[in-house]
Chain A
Amino acid sequence: MNRTLARKIVRYAVSLLIVVLLVFLLPRCMPGDPVQCLVGEDVFLTQEILDAVTAKLGLDLPLTEQFRIYIGNLLTGDLGYSYTRHQNVAELILDRLPWTLLLTGVSMLIGYTFGIIAGTWTGWMAERKMSKILTSFGVVVSCIPPYLLGLIFFSVFVYQLGWFPYKGFYTTPDLFSVVYHMALPVLTLALFVFVRNMIIMRGSVLTERNQLYPQFAKSLGVPQRKIIYGHVMKNAILPILTHFAIDFGFILSGALFIEIIFSLNGLGRVMYTAILNLDYPVLSGLFLVIAVMAVCANMIADILYGIIDPRVKRGDGR
């Protein structure tokens, strides 16, 4: 048990280190002027500012020394400065993060809940026609690039039918307006989360169904509903947890496209603008934050896994 724990901690630490190293080395190893890469392209700058950046980051110092300064900055929460936006990268990300988390959080909540329920049902009732239709629907949706579905939804539900607003998180900052504006983006993103989880859950339930205990419970007279949603679902949910961490990155990138299409000013839009302006400080900072969030998601999944599955606690799980 302790060994597993130690191994996990080492892995998380190393992945964090790799992310930090990547962000540090990329602008410095790129062809061209590192100052330009750290400041961003298409920025009007005076020589004084360029000199100030060089001095602050110590770009004339040896790499090890630069790395020390960089780590020092990171530890004080300094992710760099965007000269295109005249803003602190950390403040910028902190400002936009809650909106993106709201979008992804609600989508995940809806997607996971319905995905798990639907997956359990389609897995248990795999022979039914409805189940087959639902499964095929899920497979087809999961083969569509997220941005394409977003575009189609935008043109149909917003432009043609006029059911949803064109842009923004709200018109007036109140709950009703936010719900109205977020409805379509959340539904689009939730659809992807839903089909992914449904497919994983279905496969997992199919495996569980063939085990002995459900039949045993059935012979004891436990109601079918209780067997499925009580016992089978609880056991079959483990692969979902493993996938949760991997999904996290996927959902965040899905949010990126959704935010562009529905003009929502979250982290995805920040990233898109940074790509267009080649605003490297923002790109690096965003990647760092997203990667750290992904590592955290993995840790949470690990902990949850341990709580739900006693086999892991006993130490005989992988």
Chain B
Amino acid sequence: MFGKNTFIIAGIIFLTLLFTAAAGCIGSSQTDQNAVLKIATPNEITEASYFGNYNFAQMTRVATPPLVQVDENGEYIGALAKSWTVSSDGKTWTFTLDPAYQWSDKTPLTAEDVKFSLEYTGEKVTTSPSWIKNAVITTNGNVVTIGLADPVYRLCGDLAAINIVPKHIWGSIDDPEEYISAGPYVGSAAYYVQSVDINSATLVLAANPAWKGTDPYYGTVEIHWFATEDAAIFAMLGNECDTYWKYGASFPTGSAALLNSSEKFTGVETPSLKMSYVGFNTISSQAGGDKAFRKAVAYALNYDELVEISASGYGMTANAGFIPNSVPYYKETPANIYDLETAKSKLDLAGYKDVNGDGIREDTNGKPLTLTLLSRDKVAGELIKEYLEKAGLRVEYKFASDLNAWIELKDALAYDIAYNGITPKGMMMDSGWATGYFASNTVGAGKLQNVDDPAFLGLCSAIATTPDGGMLRSLISDLQDYYAENMPGIALYWCLDVTPINTEIDGWYISKAAGILNEINLVSVHPVN
């Protein structure tokens, strides 16, 4: 018979085995210098300029991280900063640095580097936010304090786009946007940029020997860019690359079916900040300025089909409150419903009747009505035209074939209804919560600026000057009520992002802003044992 000891020994052996196995699964904390992770992307680096090239700047966020970054839920978390506080007046921001980050040339990273980078960006980079120029930045040990002239509550959004670079390198470079170098570039995170070659279309990230955080598994991460999206996807499916990444964008939803049919890849769906909508010209259009008309149109749009065709099925039908359910302070509002009969009767009630019996509705005065529909998306534009016509409206379709034409038409308010898309960055621009797309007192190429209602503009400025908390929550609640009640725009669908996941690799972490190309993910990915 077995004694008690036998059981204990067996138990110990079993537990030891279990731990070893578990450790194996978690992945060794040792870096395998020969292991390479290859990422395919359609984001081309057209010139090797760290500050001048937009795509290069996005890719190097993982080598010279900003103070803060966006996590998998869309919230701001620390990157180079371990923690931060903000004063109640929104003017003083204090950041404490994370000691894990050290320059790859063994120089210590200090608060001076942060101060330098912020001021350097403010001075020399064209797209830098305006508050930097008037800010007073002070350092104390590993603490950086930003003193603002005017309160800025959504500072993190700007900070997440400013790379913190080594002062001892960039201090002597006068025009960073024009500065071109094939690398290496000194970095501070788990990886630094070892080389960038626009002839071979490859960016090489090497493990940073000075990095004090968790060791990554892959000794090298290569980013390969391709001239077309198809070539990048072919490279991934053809096993040339391990995964696919595109800045701020989903895997092309039309091709997502390919992931499900391949053995090596699977698509992970995550709610996005992206969405699409139709906006009404509430300023100079008779019908567009009529709330009853807008609400009637909301019943005429076939939301399910729009998701199916325009978003290839990767979207969710939206609510009257406009903003997607993954945005902070979202609240439930009535869902947008497609019901052609209701749309027709509401149009009748609003006075848009077919008086002369030709099957086409006239305006409230009985005069002929032609709605001008503006779109720069071929598929969505055609669908919306069809829906409006089904409701008995005559539509003149203006397709903006390029940005020039679009800007010209929408700035002249030469439309009654316009189809437009909202990007994750745009969702939070200006006062945030998509207000930037509506407010007539802002300007921008992607915006319709179609609402000049003082009530709405007042709400926007109140939001801009309110810190996070209960006060802001109630303002955003009011905003959603405004969207639902007045319908200056109708949300068509909220997008779902598709991220292709290589099932032979484990530990994927998908940031809401940067996708898989984020620091946390690069440290956590490792092959499945």
Contact = CB atoms under 8 A, between A and B. Distances in A.
Direct contact of A and B (CB under 8 A): yes
A65 interface: no
Given A44-B127, A99-B199, A167 B234 contact: no
Contacts of B89: none
A29 interface: no
Contacts of B126: 44-46, 49
B47 A169 contact: no
Contact of A169 (B46, B199, B407, B445): B199
Interface string B221-235: 000111110010011
B202 A168 contact: yes
B154 to A, nearest CB: 18
B227 A260 contact: yes
Interface stretch (A85-93, A192-200, A206-214): A85-93
Interface string A242-280: 000000000000000001111111000110110000100
A41 interface: yes
Nearest to A81: B178
A173 B195 CA distance: 13
Interface in B176-205: 177-178, 197-202
B404 A167 contact: no
A301 to B, nearest CB: 31
B334 interface: no
B52 A41 contact: no
B49 interface: yes
B234 A158 contact: yes
Given A86-B52, A169-B199, A269 B227 contact: yes
A92 B226 CA distance: 19
A49 B403 CA distance: 21
Q: Among the interface residues A265, A269, A270, which one has the most CB atoms of the partner chain B within 10 A?
A: A265
A204 B46 CA distance: 44
A124 interface: no
B468 interface: no
Nearest to A99: B199
A172 B126 CA distance: 34
B238 interface: yes
Contacts of B150: none
B119 interface: no
Main secondary structure of the interface of A (DSSP, over half): loop
A154 B230 CA distance: 11
B46 A166 contact: no
Contact of A273 (B46, B234, B240): B46
A166 B240 contact: yes
Contacts of A41: 403-404, 407, 445
A223 interface: no
B44 interface: yes
Contacts of A261: 227-228, 231
Given A159-B234, A263-B231, A168 B47 contact: no
Interface string A42-56: 101110010000000
A155 interface: yes
A272 B227 CA distance: 9
A268 to B, nearest CB: 9
Interface residues of B, number: 33
Interface string A3-31: 00000000000000000000000000001
Contacts of A263: 201, 225-228, 231
B404 A168 contact: no
A171 interface: yes
Contacts of A167: 200-201, 224-227, 231, 235
A32 B250 CA distance: 34
B52 A260 contact: no
A120 to B, nearest CB: 38
A31 B409 CA distance: 13
Interface in B423-454: 445
A171 B200 contact: yes
Contacts of B46: 85, 265, 270, 273
B227 to A, nearest CB: 4
B358 interface: no
A24 B225 CA distance: 34
Contacts of A269: 44, 227
B408 interface: yes
B200 A170 contact: yes
Q: Among the interface residues A32, A42, A168, A263, which one has the most CB atoms of the partner chain B within 10 A?
A: A263
B238 A87 contact: no
A196 to B, nearest CB: 25
B47 A92 contact: yes
Given A85-B46, A85-B47, A170 B199 contact: yes
Nearest to B54: A84
A171 B222 CA distance: 12
A168 B200 contact: yes
Contacts of A46: 126
B43 to A, nearest CB: 12
A239 interface: no
Given A42-B445, A87-B178, 14 more contacts: A31-B408, A85-B52, A86-B47, A86-B49, A87-B52, A166-B234, A166-B235, A170-B199, A170-B200, A260-B228, A262-B227, A265-B201, A272-B227, A273-B46
Interface of A: 31-32, 41-42, 44-46, 49, 85-87, 92, 99, 154-155, 158-159, 162, 166-173, 259-265, 269-270, 272-273, 278
8 contacts: A86-B177, A158-B238, A159-B234, A167-B200, A167-B227, A168-B200, A168-B202, A269-B44
